[in-house]
Amino acid sequence: MSTQIIDITNKICPMTTVYVRLALDRAASGERLVVFLKGEETRRNVLTLLETLGQTAEWSVADDAAEGDYRISLCKS
């Protein structure tokens, strides 16, 4: 399966969750998604959205990133 990269580092809430939801809706089952984002609030909102949609995701601080930059990874179920 392919990996879809979603960069929402320049987006603000509530548009961050809209972009993630659209990408998830378009992804095939089993496709991997990697979301790059900024800010604790955005991280919480995106993780809450994914949980609400029944998706299991892992998050981490992005490599070589400024403080507040995160990466969320999941495989669409």
pLDDT tens for residues 29-68? 999 999 999 999 999 999 999 999 999 999 999 776 665 6
- pLDDT value at position 64? 67
Q: Is the pLDDT score of 15 beyond 70?
A: yes
Write the DSSP assignment of 47-69 as a string of letters: HHHHHHTT--EEEEEPTT--TTE
Q: Could you say which architecture CATH assigns to the domain 3-75? A: 2-Layer Sandwich (3.30)
pTM: 0.89
- pLDDT value at position 13? 85
